[in-house]
Amino acid sequence: MDSEVKQHSSGIYMKIVNLDIPVTADSAIVWQNETLYLLDQRVLPGTEQFIELYSAEETARAISDMVVRGAPAIGVTAAFGVVLAAREVFQKFGSKWKQHIKPLLDQLEKSRPTAINLSWAIEKMRTHIQELEDDLDPEAKLQKLAVEIHDKDIEDNRAIGNFGASLIDTESGIITHCNAGALATGGYGTALGVVRSVHAQGKLKRVYADETRPWLQGARLTAWELARDNIPVTLIADSAAACRMAAGGIDWVVVGSDRIAANGDVANKIGTYQLAIAAKYHGVKVMVAAPTSTIDMSLPNGSQIPIEKRAASELLSCGGQRMTPEGLDAWNPVFDVTPAELVDAIVTEKGVILNPDAEKMKNH
């Protein structure tokens, strides 16, 4: 296994390694030899490299720096980050490790604000931590729980894929936005899990992938995943989606989510809201595919969902090259909220919620 150490602007070192495993979308998160490795999604598809992480601080930085992205994948990664935190504090503080792990858990939880799966995974690990003895090394038991979270996410995604596919007819065209595939989850994917299941059942005509500015997750990641699986995919500009619907042959918009409110309002990658509006006008149905860990019943509606704002430079530049006049400002929210009335179905590992509302969400 070759390696190279690079320093981030934060001063945190992360080691780039070449693992002796095939690089696939399902290998985005790897726990191997008691070490966490992440497929660096910032440099796909041109470069396929893993980042080796040694600490909770590095894991939090990897999440905020978009080495890993996608709500379920962030949750899984954070769970393994807790394992690294436990190793670090037990080695330093012994039986006093619990009081010293809390700041590291807080740091992980704050690494990205919108994805509820992050705090969901941290809370599961926190609860387990309280059950452990102070004077025993917690690493092995926390590792076991993190692996279970990872495995359960993959299992749930396959269930989501099958439930979603049951709604889709033969010879269907699908538009998707951002990347909600294996790269964004523990494996298989949510929205792309549905696509994979539809394709496996012989019902898919073609997927149209929005490029998804400014990080181009649709162009770099979704297209990469689908092409590798020999699933027919065509890339379109975000602004071409309504025109593509008007031309016919589109039956569904299928997207993932980073947080779903109690009434069925959905936070997803910026641009989802306008896609749902266009779908409503053109008679195209909208499906949101997400595990139940993405549902936040504590928030009555989408107006309460915290929306992450990122640096203006992400819009002002492309591929590291400035594309705009000097001195220009930019507004860069990275998620928007789609009202429940624009959503035809929310699909989780438990089943399908048609025309979601507060009562249906509560009983799901």
Active-site residue numbers? 258
| Rounded CA separation 89/100 (Å) | 6
Q: How far is CA 134 from the centre of its chain?
A: 34
Question: CA–CA distance from 330 to each of 9, 137, 324 (Å)?
Answer: 22, 48, 10
Contact 128, 75 (CB under 8 A): no
DSSP secondary structure, 238-304, as one string: GGGHHHHHHTS---EEEE--SEEETTS-EEEETTHHHHHHHHHHHT-EEEEE--GGGEETTSSSGGG
Per DSSP, the three-state class of 24 is coil
Rg (CA), the chain: 20
DSSP-H helix ranges across the chain:
56-64, 71-93, 97-109, 116-131, 139-165, 191-200, 217, 223-228, 241-246, 272-282, 313-316, 358-363
Contact 257, 338 (CB under 8 A): no
Which positions ≥6 away from 311 have C-beta within 8 Å? 332
